[in-house]
Copies of this chain bind each other. A is one copy, B any other.
């Protein structure tokens, strides 16, 4: 008799994701496995429905030797706001890597993607930020702005944020939420003021034009750009990457195609030889920051192994390990 798959709803996830440090460790190990070539990541599938203002992406892959493989289906339907619905949605399916059987359906509505994205930011900061973080800079006021700040609490004791957002109202709301999460917040009038006043900066916008420019750079700074995940997106002027002592990609192959690194290469400011991979920095085969005066930049585009690791963490917490034992 075939076992029925476990349906995991969003409300079952928060409790089992309770151990933040374990989750950070799991996703760190995922980045290392990815950089060591142990992860199978086929090209992303894409279904475009322009007449619906919708797009669907199918990301799937497996860590060789794991008990499961994962399929994630994520969508953006940009006319949903008129119906009072969120634009983005998603779910994950975990299958047994020995038998192929469906083990679990994770109906997370995109939540796990949000969390694993924030955790990648915390991991980048853990390995690349200067030893003392004097102030955190956040550029952008969406869900990721809040989540990135929340997860940074696990890797730095700093609780002061300089915040900039394009919309004054959204910035006020975001500042209130950050304060509720235990931070003190200064709202800045210009994005570059955030850069000038902080030494751990996270950019979380969908901008297609650079928001931060090199004239506000200073020694002893780390920037994580996690908004720029598409070929047309750019949050950092290419000269920032040109001035950095270390540039780190979550995935060299993805960052060659999209995000800050692709833009800076296209402008001739850097080459791929200048780019390290996050898993290499975590495991120590490539040095990250070499002094507290270094400027470092991490470019995060999102890798399937993050999905695999967070899904496994949820399933571990619920006692789901395999279907065929």
| Chain A residues at the B interface, C-beta cutoff of 8 Å | 2, 4-5, 7, 9, 40, 42-43, 45-49, 51-52, 54, 56, 58, 60-62, 64, 69, 71, 73, 75-77, 79-80, 83, 85, 89, 91, 93, 95, 97-102, 105, 107, 109, 324
Contact = CB atoms under 8 A, between A and B. Distances in A.
B75 A73 contact: no
A46 B40 CA distance: 11
A99 B5 CA distance: 25
Contacts of A64: 49, 51
13 contacts: A4-B107, A5-B107, A43-B45, A45-B45, A52-B98, A56-B95, A56-B100, A76-B100, A77-B98, A79-B98, A83-B324, A85-B101, A85-B324
A102 B89 contact: yes
A93 B45 CA distance: 15
State how many copies of this chain the complex holds.
2
A69 B54 CA distance: 11
**Residue among A9, A51, A69, A100 facing the most chain B CB atoms (10 A cut-off):** A100
A225 B73 CA distance: 34
A56 B80 contact: no
Contacts of A62: 47, 49
Contacts of A2: 85, 109
Contact of A69 (B56, B79, B100): B56
A39 B256 CA distance: 32
A221 to B, nearest CB: 39
A83 B2 CA distance: 12
Contact of A71 (B58, B80, B324): B58
Contacts of A60: 45, 47, 56, 58
A8 to B, nearest CB: 12
A316 to B, nearest CB: 21
Contact of A45 (B54, B58, B109): B58
A287 to B, nearest CB: 33
Contacts of A58: 45, 58, 60, 71
